[in-house]
Amino acid sequence: MSPSHPRAHPRVGPLAARSTTPRSLDVDALIDDPATGIIVCCGSGGVGKTTTSAALALRAAERGRKVVVLTIDPARRLAQSMGIEALDNTPRPVSGVGGAAEHGGSLDAMMLDMKRTFDEVVESQATPEKAKQILENPFYIALSSSFAGTQEYMAMEKLGQLQRDAKQTGTYDLIVVDTPPSRSALDFLDAPERLSSFLDGRFVRLLLAPARGPARLMTAGLGLVTGALSKILGGQLIGDLQTFVAALDTVFGGFRARAQQTYALLQADGTAFLVVAAPESDALREAAYFVERLSEDRMPLAGLVVNRATPAPAGELSADEAMTAAGRLQRAGGGSVTAGLLRLHADRVRMCEREAVLRGRFAAAHPQVPTVVVPALAGDVHDLEGLRKVGNMLAAG
């Protein structure tokens, strides 16, 4: 899992407009490279990140890698496509992976259980008595279940756990991470700072003053504040909050340190970010945001996957030629079916042209980002064969 060679970090600069032809992304070279230990798929919602993650993981396993794919997308499509009844916080083996016996590959899949991951960290960092005190506290239950940023923070925690375990035991040599939809897919980069700010906030520090400072710091002002809050919110509530903050503070230093280690891991050469987008203006604008943010944070970007592109129609008939021919047939009073097919052909040609223009604009703005275009399938992906097909198109693109 430890990388040995550097990867280029894409940068956006004034020379970007010189090129409108995107560089080609070599997916097989990426997943075959033993230095690639983590692949993170990010992008806006509804662009096929889950399918892309699963297809990459399957293809890597069938080419000899020992892979685990971690999804933090709340949708359950990954379990269905891999033939697993349910995914949870424990990696589950995926059966039917071709070539595993010959090449030594394997594939496990799991879905992040945010609260369970938080519980595991508390249990590993505190004594049984202290852990029980934290786990039963109502404020901890609320924080671990619904606090903004907790899911992303725990995703980083789980990724760090997987990487550390893989390094120690050799269970996996590639981790593929599927991220939440929309811009929250990059919130895991900010999660350590967000929760650190929460614990270091003025109100929390005020509640921690009795535990952190000498008795003389317990001033009359603090007593007035907690007394007033007790009257408004209730003494039991304030007591629970003080107990929770004091208890959690004893283990949160470990959270913060490991989150910082995981952040450094994401910046390492062994990590590769793939931005997934649809061939639409909004999705590609979001992709540009991801690329620029990753560049600012010095995260190693492997490339862009343009998913569900309109397949190019057969033949060389242009849209204008097809519409002209359809009009002639219509005026001649016959060939209505053929005229309809010609118009459909024209619509598809124009759609392909519009998508090519959008991809060209992205390439002009980000010429150093390698790209692969994956055509849209006729139906949904719901099994390993479908994932295998997507993997083949990723490699062939």
Q: What's the rounded Cα separation, in Å, for the pair 77 and 79?
A: 6
DSSP string, 74-101: S--HHHHHTT-S---SS-EEPS--TTHH
Q: Where are the alpha helices (DSSP H) in the chain?
A: 27-32, 49-62, 77-81, 100-103, 114-125, 128-135, 138-146, 150-169, 187-199, 202-212, 220-233, 235-267, 281-296, 319-331, 336-365, 384-396
Neighbours of 307 (CB within 10 A): 25
Residue type, 247: A
Domain architecture of the chain: domains with CATH: 14-315+366-396 (3.40.50.300)
Q: What's the rounded Cα separation, in Å, for the pair 332 and 324?
A: 12
Q: Would you say 209 and 218 are in contact if contact means Cβ atoms under 8 Å apart? A: yes
SS3 249: helix
Q: Would you say 110 and 72 are in contact if contact means Cβ atoms under 8 Å apart? A: no
Tens-binned pLDDT, residue by residue, of the chain (397 aa): 434 333 444 433 333 334 456 689 999 999 999 999 999 998 888 888 889 999 999 999 999 999 999 987 656 677 777 877 778 888 999 988 876 657 789 999 998 887 888 888 888 888 898 888 888 888 788 777 766 567 777 777 888 889 999 999 999 999 999 887 655 556 667 766 666 566 555 555 555 555 444 444 444 444 444 444 444 444 456 666 666 666 666 666 666 677 778 888 999 999 999 999 999 999 999 899 999 989 998 999 999 999 999 988 887 888 888 898 888 888 877 668 888 889 999 999 999 999 999 999 999 999 999 999 999 988 888 889 999 999 999 999 7
Closest CA relative to residue 109, chosen from 161, 51, 57: 57
Closest CA relative to residue 178, chosen from 63, 286, 45: 45
Output the six-digit token pair for 136.
């039963």
Q: Residue 15: exposed, middle, or buried by beta-carbon count in 10 A (0-12, 13-18, 19+)?
A: exposed
Output DSSP code: residue 17.
Answer: G
Q: Would you say 94 and 388 are in contact if contact means Cβ atoms under 8 Å apart? A: no
Neighbours of 14 (CB within 10 A): 6
SS3 28: helix
pLDDT at 251: 63
pLDDT at 26: 97
Closest CA relative to residue 304, chosen from 34, 27, 46: 27
CA-derived radius of gyration, the chain: 26
Given the structure tokens 């997934």, which residue do they identify?
276
Q: What's the rounded Cα separation, in Å, for the pair 389 and 77?
A: 16
